[in-house]
Structure 1
């Protein structure tokens, strides 16, 4: 078993990390595309890829998170994964993690999308 701070030893673990990151990015693009379609943009795909975040909006009070909702979502997601790992074993653990982790990643990407949308509407 590897420590949390160490790099993965197995190629499968790298694919899991890369897959989680890709799922997050795809979630953000999907939410931006859907928002552009609702607003009647002529090219919603182009608008989704052109979405930018202002890194200046980050605050130190929430540790780099833009809101307490993002911070709370991150903490709740981490606690949920730890509880699944601690309370289950074997195939049940694997199947629950294959369901719970993608849902948490998409939920976090949605929270980030909402915060970016709020920041853009304030400007």
Structure 2
């Protein structure tokens, strides 16, 4: 258990975590903005920032905190891909692969979350 840590040790790791979270939020806002433009909203930026999932958004399903098996599968597949890329490569190739793969996975997960929220809103 010497490798397990709960929080980053230095500022660089904090910036990486904050950057991943920021990329996720930008992805969600972009997809909401694009949907509002398609629907002909007069103020798509306001619609993107005003997007809410409602009080029943958190649904404890058999998949844990995930609302669908697609979200759960996407998270697990992303974790496996990142683990394989980190384990099977070394040096500059590892850094290059992770700098490409991780942002793509984050945007893909934000798209899955956006689709799930849109489906929940349309059903309500």
Q: Using structure 2 for the length normalisation, give the TM-score.
A: 0.94
Q: Which runs of 5+ in 1 are unaligned?
A: none
Query: Over aligned residue pairs, what C-alpha RMSD do you find?
Result: 1.3
Pairwise CA distance, 1:60? 2.5
Aligned residue for 1:35, secondary structure, equals: helix
Aligned residue for 1:82, secondary structure, equals: helix
Q: Which runs of 5+ in 2 are unaligned?
A: none
Query: How many residues of Structure 1 are paired with residues of Structure 2 in the alignment?
Result: 122
Aligned residue for 2:56, secondary structure, equals: helix
The Cα offsets for residues 65-123 of structure 1, whole Å up to 9 and x where unpaired, read as 11000000000000000000000000000010000000000000000000000000000
Structure-2 residue corresponding to 1:38:
38
Distance 2:100 2:4 in 1: 21
Assess, with a 3 A threshold, how the Cα gap between structure 1 residues 35 and 14 changes in structure 2: closer, same or farther: same
After TM superposition, where is structure 1 displaced by more than 3 Å over at least 4 residues in a row? 2-5
Aligned residue for 1:118, secondary structure, equals: helix
Structure-1 residue corresponding to 2:48:
48
Distance 2:5 2:62 in 1: 25
